[in-house]
Structure 1
């Protein structure tokens, strides 16, 4: 019986399979790129159900019809081999089968069970964190990290996971402590870099944040496209909130957009940065056209409510009428047919919010305010981080300003300025509300 890199038993004797599984695990947790060997490993040892489950998961991650077919092939193989697998492996395989079948409630339940019964399985804990993050459950996000940290005290990735969980739960000092510790343990831990950047952005420590990220940025070049573009997105936000708009545009062109234009999270990073700049009055030129072209080309839409809210604005802003209609039809379907865990988020948050964002793109700010007033109190439910969802808050604020609803927007902006003092972006928005700009 062999073990993976965290000491979990594997139902294989193959060095190739163990190596491929470890590469897959570390690439996922550490945002690397060495995923593909898992396919060859499973094909070479089709009776190893856990390898097939990882291969199925990689197919799901591809977010394409071809990826779904790959996932189906390996899901069948994993299911057929389950009886020979160990208890932990069987539970994990069952969770992946639920993910493939979009049984999100079952997936979440089994991932919690894995965290409780097998805290040594850091991969499952990371997958659990990502899954609960997608439904905006910050409490469980932190619980997962707290539950496994004792088994992984020598692992930088575990501290990076807890750093982000603590930051999302507003435990800022402890989050920064964990993020810095993870980085000291292993400099190439981009998720920990990102967690500290969250803290510094939330606290308005822009100069420190710029230096922190710049000093570590040489560690991101060999990471996957999401982590590379997302950490540079964070760097761009520091400059943007200081009202240095030239630097974020430069970072957009050179670091944020263009690594993998087909990947959902790369698209979300690009849309988010471009839209923030535009909300603050920056002329972004013809950049929307390229982004919207690639969003329109997506063949698997309605990935997640959080994603689709970004897509809706980008498609509307880029004049992609046919693709936008297709997206909205799909969102309306999800509002009725999505799994129980996410159905209300689609129906009562994502759908009205996206209608509001389309209204913004069309310059209909009174309509935008009407739609966003329904969704705004529940933005947490659609997932994403506090920093990511602040895009939607800014859309609400700027819509109120454009609709000249100054009495309504003023208290919102005063609260922002009081929470994070000396942030030029917030001060400028409040000045607009007060009629000074």
Structure 2
């Protein structure tokens, strides 16, 4: 019996398995890139169920049919070896099998139990936090971080996790405190940098946010493509809301789009930034054609409603009609047949919203308002952060303005301007509503 980097028992005698496990854990929590050794480790240590579980998860992360085949191989191994593991390893492995089998209700129960019974497993806690984030459960996200923090007081990652949980629960001062603490403990903690950026954006502290992210940006160079592009996406938002549109376009071309054009979250970051610029009247040239072509080539869609809502607009703007038809057919099927845990998010939020976004791409703002007004009060259910979901709120607001429904838009924009004073983007949209043009 050995231990991982957080002192959790591993049912193995293999140095290779321990080393690969620790690389995998650190890469996942710290957004690194050293995942692949887990495959060889599991191949050489087939009786270690948790190593096979990690390998299964890595296959799923690959987001391709080949990746699913790889995941299936290690899934079978993990299931076969599961009874040889500790209680924690069995529970964790069972949760990974649920991810593979798309059993979200069972998965959520197991992750709660893993956090409660085994708070030393910070990987399990991070996986749990990400999973509850994807269904918009901010309360549980914070509970997870609060539950494990006492076991990880010397670990910057734990404070970065709590910072984000606190920010999503609108505990902004405490979130910034945790994010700054994590960064002081370990400068290369990009999730903590990101949590503080969320706070500063929410509070309208744009100049401060730009300085914060710029000072830490050298720490993102060796992180995985999502974390690199997402933190630059955050930096771009500061400039965009200050209505410096030249800088976000440059960041889009140089930092946000192009690291891994096939990866879902890189695509989401790119679509989100490009769409925001367009909503504010910026000519983005032919950029939709490139991002739309990569979205159209995705072998897997309909994984998460939040992703598909982005894909629908990108495909419509890029004129990718065949891929858009395939996406929408899949969304309609999910609205009927998705597991009960996520079916409402598909049926009542993602599907009508995406129809509204397609209407925007087609210039039919009256239809967009009809569709989006049905869905917008339930956006929490599709996951994503407050900052990410604000894209969809802006789509509704700008559609109201384009449709001439100034009476509906005006109080919403007044509330935005009162909450975050002196934000040029909000001020300009509010002025437009007041001018009624």
TM-score range, shorter-chain basis? over 0.9
Scaled by the length of structure 2, the TM-score of the pair is: 1.00
Confirm whether residue 313 of structure 1 aligns to residue 316 of structure 2. no
Confirm or deny: 8 A CA contact 2:315 2:324 kept in the other structure: yes
* Distance (whole Å) between structure 2 residues aligned to residue 160 and residue 319 of structure 1: 40
Residue aligning to 2:366: 366
Confirm whether residue 256 of structure 1 aligns to residue 261 of structure 2. no
What's the CA shift for 1:148? 0.2
* Distance (whole Å) between structure 1 residues aligned to residue 170 and residue 300 of structure 2: 34
For 1:26-425, list aligned pairs within 5 A.
26-425=26-425
What's the CA shift for 1:202? 0.2
What's the CA shift for 1:53? 0.3
* Distance (whole Å) between structure 2 residues aligned to residue 256 and residue 85 of structure 1: 41
Change (3 A) 1:352 1:436: closer
Confirm or deny: 8 A CA contact 2:159 2:182 kept in the other structure: yes
Residue aligning to 1:21: 21
Residue aligning to 1:3: 3
* Distance (whole Å) between structure 1 residues aligned to residue 46 and residue 301 of structure 2: 31
- Superposition CA RMSD, Å: 0.6
What's the CA shift for 1:192? 0.1
Q: Which runs of 5+ in 1 are unaligned?
A: none
* Distance (whole Å) between structure 1 residues aligned to residue 81 and residue 408 of structure 2: 60
Confirm or deny: 8 A CA contact 2:240 2:248 kept in the other structure: yes
What's the CA shift for 1:257? 0.1
* Distance (whole Å) between structure 2 residues aligned to residue 147 and residue 340 of structure 1: 27
Query: Equivalent residue of 1:35, what SS?
Result: coil
* Distance (whole Å) between structure 2 residues aligned to residue 269 and residue 50 of structure 1: 32
Query: Equivalent residue of 1:434, what SS?
Result: helix
Query: Equivalent residue of 1:105, what SS?
Result: helix
* Distance (whole Å) between structure 2 residues aligned to residue 62 and residue 398 of structure 1: 36
* Distance (whole Å) between structure 1 residues aligned to residue 341 and residue 146 of structure 2: 24
After TM superposition, which residue ranges in structure 1, 4 or more long, deviate above 3 angstroms? Answer: none
What's the CA shift for 1:335? 0.5
Residue aligning to 1:426: 426
What's the CA shift for 1:435? 1.0
What's the CA shift for 1:184? 0.1
* Distance (whole Å) between structure 2 residues aligned to residue 337 and residue 40 of structure 1: 37
* Distance (whole Å) between structure 2 residues aligned to residue 145 and residue 118 of structure 1: 13
* Distance (whole Å) between structure 1 residues aligned to residue 221 and residue 338 of structure 2: 37
What's the CA shift for 1:436? 7.1
Q: Deviations over 1:94-119 (max 9, x none)?
A: 00000100001101110000000000
* Distance (whole Å) between structure 1 residues aligned to residue 171 and residue 322 of structure 2: 44
Q: Deviations over 1:223-257 (max 9, x none)?
A: 00000000000000000000000000000000000
Q: Deviations over 1:263-290 (max 9, x none)?
A: 0000000000000000000000000000
Confirm or deny: 8 A CA contact 2:163 2:174 kept in the other structure: yes
Q: Deviations over 1:62-110 (max 9, x none)?
A: 1111111111100000000011111000000000000100001101110
Q: Which runs of 5+ in 2 are unaligned?
A: none
* Distance (whole Å) between structure 2 residues aligned to residue 98 and residue 178 of structure 1: 32
